[in-house]
């Protein structure tokens, strides 16, 4: 059984229909990549899963449980974390406060925290600094760290490499590989090289519809399909 099933999901934002009959099966474990051009509907898909937009009609089920109509906070408490495109960092809070807010009890699991600071050593350096003072890459590390400070079954990550320096993108890929050993990641990405290095399964969204789905290996081997759906050579 899939970890996350999306069936005939349609999402409207105001009077505009953004998603049309999206159906997707995200298996448990590894990284599932959602590719697509700007404005294709990738972010709307993640926000609809999180309950930040309400899909109607259609359904989203997580471990067999219907998420449709559930409050975002209840969806999060089922074990789904969300890292938005703008990272959603609380700039007025320190790095420590950003992380402690995401814990279930207000206390850190020391083993887990040690693992996170090993993945992102910069966070320990800036532990008591307010988050607005961090660089873009450090903010992204904090956003991802916040998503894994508690055990999660699924992490939705929206374009984590946007605007990051290549060296940080490499470090982020390493971190995602390690996180994906114990958690499923649904990754929205436009950086195909980054996505390709991580993804096991994938889908492409085009104009609010699933235009292709399959394994990353197959998609990476089909240059003509990549050009048609992502216009990579353009």
Q: What residues make contact with other proteins under the rule CB under 8 A?
A: 50, 52, 71-73, 76-77, 81-82, 84, 88, 90-93, 97, 100-102, 104, 106, 132, 146
User: The dihedral of CA 142, 145, 146, 147: what is its sign?
Assistant: positive
Range list of H helices, 1-79? 42-49, 72-77
For residue 131, the minimal CB distance to other proteins (Å) is: 10
Q: Give the integer Cα–Cα distance in Å for 234 and 183.
A: 35
Q: Are 2 and 28 spatial neighbours (Cβ–Cβ below 8 Å)?
A: yes
Q: Please say which residue, 71 or 110, places its beta carbon nearer to other proteins.
A: 71
Nearest distance from residue 98's CB to other proteins, in Å? 8
In this structure, the strands spanning 4-13 and 59-62 are antiparallel
Nearest distance from residue 134's CB to other proteins, in Å? 12
Looking at the Cβ atoms of 25 and 85, the one nearer to other proteins is 85
Residue nearer to other proteins on the CB measure, 65 or 77: 77
**CA 132 to CA 92: how far, in whole Å?**
7
d(CA 172, CA 74): 28
C-beta closer to other proteins: residue 149 or 198 = 149
Q: Closest distance between other proteins and the C-beta of residue 227, in Å? A: 35
């Amino acid at each position: 059984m899939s970890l996350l099933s999306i069936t005939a999901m349609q999402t409207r934002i105001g009077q505009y229909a953004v998603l049309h009959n999206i159906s997707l099966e995200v298996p448990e474990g590894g990284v599932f990549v959602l590719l697509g051009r700007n404005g294709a509907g990738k972010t709307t898909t993640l926000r609809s899963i999180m309950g930040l937009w309400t899909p109607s009609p259609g359904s989203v089920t997580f471990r067999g449980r219907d998420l449709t109509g559930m409050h975002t906070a209840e969806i999060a408490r089922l074990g789904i974390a969300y890292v938005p495109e703008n990272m959603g960092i609380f700039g007025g809070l320190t790095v420590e406060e950003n992380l402690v807010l995401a814990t279930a009890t207000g206390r850190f699991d020391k083993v887990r925290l040690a693992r996170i600071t090993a993945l992102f050593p910069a966070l320990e350096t800036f532990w008591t600094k307010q988050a607005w003072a961090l660089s873009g890459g450090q903010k992204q590390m904090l956003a991802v760290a916040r998503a894994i400070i508690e055990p999660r079954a699924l992490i939705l990550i929206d374009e984590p490499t946007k605007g990051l320096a290549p060296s940080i993108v490499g470090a982020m890929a390493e971190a995602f590989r390690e996180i994906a050993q114990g958690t499923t990641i649904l990754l929205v990405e436009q950086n195909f090289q980054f996505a390709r290095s991580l993804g096991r399964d994938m889908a492409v969204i085009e104009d609010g519809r699933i235009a292709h789905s399959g394994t990353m290996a197959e998609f990476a081997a089909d240059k003509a399909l990549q050009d048609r759906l992502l216009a990579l050579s353009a």
